[in-house]
Structure 1
Amino acid sequence: MELEFKWDSDIDATDIGVSVKNGAVTLTGFVKNFNEEWEAESDAKRVAGIVGVATDSEICPPYSCRAASRLAFKSISLRSKPIRAN
């Protein structure tokens, strides 16, 4: 599946998660636009042995989702304090 995504220059699979069970594929994560989501689904359907594809991805313009995730992580990291044993 990953090789199929690498061959498709129309998608950036960096934020696309793939799980396969009994020939059924579930795509999760973030895509930049509807076209990228459609391309990822089409790529998955081309792989031998795949009987169905479910898409549970979120359409998110470039950097907006990743930036929000990084800011949230930084905020959590700054708030947490190390636990010291007495």
Structure 2
Amino acid sequence: MKRERLTNERLNRKWSRKHVANILGISEIFVRKIENGQRNPGLETMLKFEKLYGVSSKKLFPDLFQINFDTKRIKKRLA
């Protein structure tokens, strides 16, 4: 799942991934993978993005905050 808001925040500032990576102290490749949803940031990195862009982590990484109730698995475990 591509993280549109995260990518748009960077693009709106006309920043490259390399620039963001240098500010956050992570690799450019890791920034790309996080934006594309191929990797998830740790809590510390997530908070760095939040501070950098002034946007809550829930808005930057909505996929990490989704609640999914898998009732089928729950029912199987209770049976």
- Give the shorter-chain TM-score range: 0.3 to 0.5
The TM-score, its normalising length taken from structure 1, stands at: 0.33
Q: Normalised by the size of structure 2, how large is the TM-score?
A: 0.35
The structure showing larger relative contact order (alpha-carbon pairs under 8 Å, at least 6 residues apart) is 2
User: Could you say which structure has the higher helix fraction?
Assistant: 2
